Amino acid sequence: MLTDSILFARSNLIHPVIIHPEQFVSELGKTIPSLPPSLSYVLPLTIGNANDLMKVTFIRCFTKDNRIIYVISNPLVNGIEYQVYDLIPLPVKQRLSNNYIFILPSVRYLALDATKNYYFPMKSFENCQNFKQSLILCAGDEPIFSSYVRPICETELLFPLTEIPKTCDQRITSNFKEIWRKLNNKNEWIYVLPKETGITLNCKTPTEGYTITHFSLVNTGIISLNSDCKLYTSSTTLMTVTTHYTSNFKSIIPNISIDDEICCEKFKRINMSELGISLSKPLSLDIESLHVASHKLDQIEKLTDAVKETTIIEDIYNNSYFAYVVCTIFKIIVLFLLYKLYKIFKNRYCNSNKDKCNQITNCLTLNICKRNVHNEVDIELEGTEDSPSTSTERTSLRRSLRIAKLKEKI
């Protein structure tokens, strides 16, 4: 019996040899006065709840001083129930392209209280255990946040909105393959179909036996099937299960359209290949798969703005042949301008020398620019006597000849 109790303890079970269920409830009742005011046991301490209370206990044993010691721990709760949401991205196909836009969840699960005032994120259910039907008991390891003081995208989408919150991680990806994702509800699936897909539905009825129905589905949506039905596509078969109860749980889809958002209008005509972005096709609606096979819209926006702001110089730099032609033309233009400037300065220099010649009084007609050589000319006046006036004229003429010689030297 002692060995069995130790083996039971290793499996987190209480052997009756250690303590009976009635005694267990009685011992728990003795601890109520010592509990914190805001905490209580999971269930009322009654004999009818003894087995359920023992299911959520944690037991461990060890030896000390030749004695086997059993430590039994029972969880305490604060009385607040949280609804856990399984966050699944719902891709929406753009109207003018083959791309899909969706909101990538920041967490895998979201626990929200009934008033939607408080929440805490959850990565998994590793520290949780199923307590009753649709009731899970989890360790309070995660901090609890206020939806108003510290909102996140997922909490804001639960309220009526006119636009997508800025805290949401909007992403874009390429065509999906045919994807079917089963929801928590019985016989309910999310589908993503990039093209119109033929559906064959085979259902069993009490009166007519099996009936076959044909129809088509495309894009994204949720389909719910009755029991005893099978759904067929060219690559997928969905099997339903028989249910004996009706669930009031409904999937919550935010009442806002991503494709109609003004912020996304600029992305409807974008060719992703022009931006140098290659997107792989997601194989499922899991967060990790979509995270790898998508890009943030703000990153796409930056790339789009960069493409629009690309200057002509950058285009020339990227095209080597075009750059060579443009550079050659530019060199020819520069050489032509330099030649024109040379002609202009040369003409101005010649004209300035002509002006200097004209400013000298009693100057003979000389072509200085051509630099012609003029021989000295002696002029004799015959048949006249020397007179003061004649002497003066001869002196002036000789002076003019000297000036002409000086110009030739210049």
Kindly report, residue by residue over 326-344, the tens digit of the pLDDT: 788 888 898 888 888 888 8
Same domain? For 382 and 285 the reply is no
Tell me if residue 54 falls in helix, strand or coil.
Answer: helix
Contacts of 204 by beta carbon, 8 Å cutoff, 6+ apart: 210, 211, 228, 229
Domain final residue pick, 77, 111, 133 = 77
Mean residue pLDDT of the chain comes to 75
Same domain? For 291 and 383 the reply is no
What is the total count of domains within the chain?
4
Domain that includes residue 396, residue range: 364-410
> Is the C-alpha dihedral spanning 172, 173, 175, 176 positive or negative?
negative
Task: Determine the Cα–Cα distance for residues 195 and 326; give it in Å rounded to an integer.
Answer: 47
Task: Determine the Cα–Cα distance for residues 355 and 358; give it in Å rounded to an integer.
Answer: 5
Average pLDDT over residues 112-122: 91
Same domain? For 172 and 265 the reply is yes
Same domain? For 110 and 236 the reply is yes
Same domain? For 96 and 202 the reply is yes
**404: number of Cβ within 10 Å:** 18
Structural contact between residues 188 and 223, judged by C-beta atoms closer than 8 angstroms: yes
**178: number of Cβ within 10 Å:** 14
What percent of the chain stands above pLDDT 90?
10
Average pLDDT over residues 137-164: 87
Structural contact between residues 108 and 290, judged by C-beta atoms closer than 8 angstroms: no
Categorize the per-residue pLDDT at 146 as very low, low, confident or very high, splitting at 50, 70 and 90.
very high
Angle, CA 376 vertex, CA 374 and CA 377 arms, to 5°? 110
> What is the pLDDT, as a whole number, of residue 285?
73
Residue the block writes with tokens 């100057």: 363
Tens digits of per-residue pLDDT, 47-94? 888 888 888 888 888 888 888 888 888 888 888 888 888 898 888 887
220: Cα separation from own chain's centroid: 21
Q: Give which of 149, 74, 76, 141 is closest to 111, Cα–Cα.
A: 141
Buried b (16+ CB within 10 A) or exposed e, 341-364: eeeeeeeeeeeeeeeebeeeeeee
Same domain? For 219 and 89 the reply is yes
Categorize the per-residue pLDDT at 381 as very low, low, confident or very high, splitting at 50, 70 and 90.
very low
Same domain? For 251 and 265 the reply is yes
Same domain? For 71 and 156 the reply is no
Q: Is pTM beyond 0.85 here?
A: no
Same domain? For 182 and 301 the reply is yes
Tell me if residue 196 falls in helix, strand or coil.
Answer: strand
pLDDT surpasses 60 at 278: no
Domain final residue pick, 271, 291, 308 = 308
Integer angstrom CA distances of residue 52 from 21, 32, 55, 76: 10, 18, 5, 14
pLDDT surpasses 70 at 346: yes
Tell me if residue 249 falls in helix, strand or coil.
Answer: coil
Task: Determine the Cα–Cα distance for residues 375 and 195; give it in Å rounded to an integer.
Answer: 104
Same domain? For 130 and 186 the reply is yes
Task: Determine the Cα–Cα distance for residues 111 and 119; give it in Å rounded to an integer.
Answer: 5
**403: number of Cβ within 10 Å:** 16
Same domain? For 303 and 315 the reply is no
Categorize the per-residue pLDDT at 246 as very low, low, confident or very high, splitting at 50, 70 and 90.
low
Contacts of 111 by beta carbon, 8 Å cutoff, 6+ apart: 82, 83, 84, 85, 119, 120, 121, 122, 138, 142
Same domain? For 203 and 267 the reply is yes
Task: Determine the Cα–Cα distance for residues 52 and 303; give it in Å rounded to an integer.
Answer: 58
